[in-house]
Amino acid sequence: MRPEEFQAEFDVPRGTMDKLARYAELLVEWQEKMNLVGPATLTDIWGRHFADSAQLVRHVPQGQSWLDIGAGGGFPGMVLAAMGWGRFTLVDSIAKKTRFLEAVRDELNLRENISIVCGRVEKLPTLGVQVATARAAASLDQLFDWAIRHVRPGGLFVFPKGRRWAEEVEEAERRFLFDLETRDSLTDPEARILLVRNLKRL
């Protein structure tokens, strides 16, 4: 996907496009020093990473408080924050990745929208967010384990999942009760976006 295609797909203003273009540059620069994303995906940052993250705006209202677990290279949280979609806490246990996230946040002037935590999400004080998300961080039941106490009652869990999504749902149903809606992924016909509400442990 080219930047102009991304802009048209999500109706993104010029100023936001400038921020995302700078983000793409930083991702390439830092990738030389650490493994932030799969190297083969660098040729399609706008599709594989930016559009894959941005599509969540179609399923969650603007202005929510979010937790992004295992934020890594900043997907989806950093992209959504750049698009003005809410307030985000990005958590990763690897210090060099949180240094990257801090550099991007500061370069994109997103300090008011983003908090970055270096640590394990299961060790954090309860955050009380409205939405939890994660991308390629862990299995669905593991994400539920980590996220359930951080999301306030009535909140939403939004997890993009790949081709094994149905198996992961089946595994999670052995340990949790939840209401599930699935949405097609814009970037992968075999993937789904899982929208989960009313999550409870069995």
pLDDT tens for 166-192 read: 999 999 999 999 999 999 999 999 999
* Collapsed DSSP state (helix, strand, coil) of residue 164: coil
For residue 23, the Cα-to-chain-centroid distance in whole angstroms is 15
Give the per-residue pLDDT at 111.
96
Q: Mean pLDDT for the chain?
A: 96
3-state helix, strand, coil in the chain (%, to 5): 40, 25, 30
pLDDT tens sequence across 9-46: 999 999 999 999 999 999 999 999 898 998 888 899 99
For residue 68, give the CATH number of its domain.
Answer: 3.40.50.150
Give the residue numbers spanning the domain of 105. Answer: 3-201
pTM of the model as a whole: 0.96
Residue 178 DSSP code: E
Tens-digit pLDDT profile for residues 38-89: 888 889 999 999 999 999 999 999 999 999 999 999 999 999 999 999 999 9
Count of domains forming the chain: 1
